[in-house]
Amino acid sequence: MLTRQAQPIAAIATAAGRGAVGIVRVSGASVGPLIHAICARTLKPREATYLPLRASDGSIIDHGIAIHFPAPNSYTGEDVLELQAHGGPVVMQLLLARCLEAGADMQVRVAEPGEFTQRAFLNDKIDLAQAEAVADLIDASTETAARSAARSLSGEFSSDIHGLRDELITLRMLVEATLDFPEEEIDFLQKADAQGQLDGLQRGLATVMQRAKQGALLCEGIKVVIAGQPNAGKSSLLNALAGAELAIVTPIAGTTRDVVSQTIQIEGVPLHVIDTAGLRESDDQVEKIGIARAWGQIEEADAVLFLRDLTRAGQPDYEADDAAIARELAAKLGARVTVIDIWNKADAVEPRAAAGALCLSAKTGAGLDTLRRKLLEVAGWQSAPEGVYIARERHVHALRRVEGHLREAASLLALQANALDLLAEELRLAQNALNEITGEFTPDDLLGVIFSRFCIGK
């Protein structure tokens, strides 16, 4: 009985639904018996061959293209067979069922999400950062994100991480070597310029971290919630930012009772903009549910657009309610979330009441460009520099841990002979954090989480 990891896997590798072409992919230690059963002939390595794809009784399922990628020169590092046929759902299911039937003695099974890429990682075809870039390239919601993911997939991010790791290993070897010669350790470290090496490591880390932060922003974007009293123009602002009529807009207070969301992009950065129910006291049970959901979204936001109605500025009751909302925002969010004060409906009245806040018109679009720039500023975007690679929050968190360990190492190095063993430990921990990014030191449960989010067949 083969272990699950050793069992060959098969899956439909193209999106569900109808298409001109569909692909069924099989990967395992050997796919020779499947080639003989389905193609009734041998295949030249890496050469596309047009032929009938046959059922168990010899009848033809479809005419298509078969390609054999012998190990280790394949995506997974194993033997791979790709069958390309007409992309109808029934044809794809018939081909997949045929692969499972023909490979029953080989224990061929249906692949789990991301299992082909996981095998590529486990067989050292790609590292973990590159594996994640595969999913990020598929999921990219902007052109900039797609280009950055392609750079990560090609190995740019991993190369920078490996460069930092190699410098760190050199410094570790130097420090640990001094522990064997305690009478010479201070002069040894000074002559080898340990301080200069550590300074260089910290500068290199700062550069990588900045690029990774920008890449994580491209990958995940930020969540922006529009909040305010009823009829402030929240739905109109969502429609204006999205450039489409997504939310219903009426003069009736409380029109929006549920969450309406849309992902937009500004300079390639995805922003997940959410319109919410107007915040006010209400006896309407449905509206109360909508208001509760609004506060739930606000508490999970990266930024809140606190929208106010310029036509009602100066009205005591209205401003009192606005002040109450502002206090609750401050109490719930504190300093961790940026709240942008916005006065809407500048097309209707003179914006005299908007001092200290952004003034715009969701109706005419006046002031929207200023808001977009402000959102990019809040997000921390610094105009897409060439070379930004896609990254994830876990990469940024790992780099922050490296930064902390190097900072502690710098303070220990200043103590010289009194703390060399602690210095060596901080450098070891920094290297472990770097290795987690590329998967050279990664808990198995993290691998499970990462690959389970891939699509089946990839």
Written as one string, the DSSP assignment of 412-445 is HHTTGGGGHHHHHHHHHHHHHHHHHHHTSS--HH
354 is in an annotated binding site: no
With residue 260 as reference, give the H or E element that holds it.
strand 260-266
Specify the pLDDT at position 443.
60
Residues 272, 273, 275, CA angle at the centre, nearest 5°?
Answer: 145
For 153, other C-beta atoms within 10 Å of its C-beta total: 21
344 is in an annotated binding site: yes
250 is in an annotated binding site: yes
E strands, 267-317, in order: 269-275, 303-309
Ranges in the chain annotated CATH 1.20.120.430: 131-217+392-439
Beta bridge partners of 52: 63
The answer to whether residues 357 and 343 touch, using CB atoms and an 8 Å cutoff, is yes
> Is the domain 131-217+392-439 a CATH 1.20.120.430 member?
yes
Name the residue among 195, 176, 196 with its Cα closest to residue 185.
176
234 is in an annotated binding site: yes
458 is in an annotated binding site: yes
82 is in an annotated binding site: yes
Tell me which CATH code domain 221-379 carries: 3.40.50.300
**Chain position carrying tokens 């002069």:** 187
Tell me which CATH code domain 9-125 carries: 3.30.1360.120
For 393, how many CA atoms within 13 A lie in the half-sphere containing its CB?
Answer: 3
346 is in an annotated binding site: yes
The DSSP 8-state label assigned to residue 198 in this structure reads H
243 is in an annotated binding site: no
With residue 146 as reference, give the H or E element that holds it.
helix 143-153
The answer to whether residues 144 and 138 touch, using CB atoms and an 8 Å cutoff, is no
The answer to whether residues 409 and 202 touch, using CB atoms and an 8 Å cutoff, is no
- Per run of 10 residues, the mean pLDDT along the chain (length 458 residues) is 88 90 94 94 95 94 96 95 94 95 93 93 92 87 82 90 92 80 61 86 92 84 89 86 61 56 84 86 80 88 90 88 90 87 85 68 89 87 69 90 94 78 90 89 64 74
383 is in an annotated binding site: no
Neighbouring residues of 418: CB distance < 8 A, sequence distance ≥ 6: none
374 is in an annotated binding site: no
**Chain position carrying tokens 């999106």:** 15
CA 226 – CA 235 distance, rounded (Å)? 8
Name the residue among 164, 130, 131, 202 with its Cα closest to residue 431.
164
231 is in an annotated binding site: yes
Ranges in the chain annotated CATH 3.40.50.300: 221-379
User: Residue 224: what are its φ and ψ, rounded to 5°?
Assistant: -115, 120
Sheet holding 338-344, edge to edge: 260-266, 269-275, 222-228, 303-309, 338-344, 358-359
275 is in an annotated binding site: yes
Specify the pLDDT at position 431.
92
CA 205 – CA 430 distance, rounded (Å)? 11
79 is in an annotated binding site: no
With residue 49 as reference, give the H or E element that holds it.
strand 49-54
Distances (CA, A) of 121 to 115, 181, 355, 451: 10, 41, 56, 10
Ranges in the chain annotated CATH 3.30.1360.120: 9-125
191 is in an annotated binding site: no
Check residue 438 and give left, alpha or beta (phi > 0: left; psi -120 to 50: alpha). alpha
60 is in an annotated binding site: no
Q: What is the pTM (predicted TM-score) of this model?
A: 0.76
With residue 50 as reference, give the H or E element that holds it.
strand 49-54
363 is in an annotated binding site: no
288 is in an annotated binding site: no
Check residue 280 and give left, alpha or beta (phi > 0: left; psi -120 to 50: alpha). beta
The DSSP 8-state label assigned to residue 45 in this structure reads B
The answer to whether residues 50 and 63 touch, using CB atoms and an 8 Å cutoff, is yes
Specify the pLDDT at position 441.
65
Specify the pLDDT at position 414.
80
Amino acid at position 340, single letter: I
CA 275 – CA 137 distance, rounded (Å)? 28
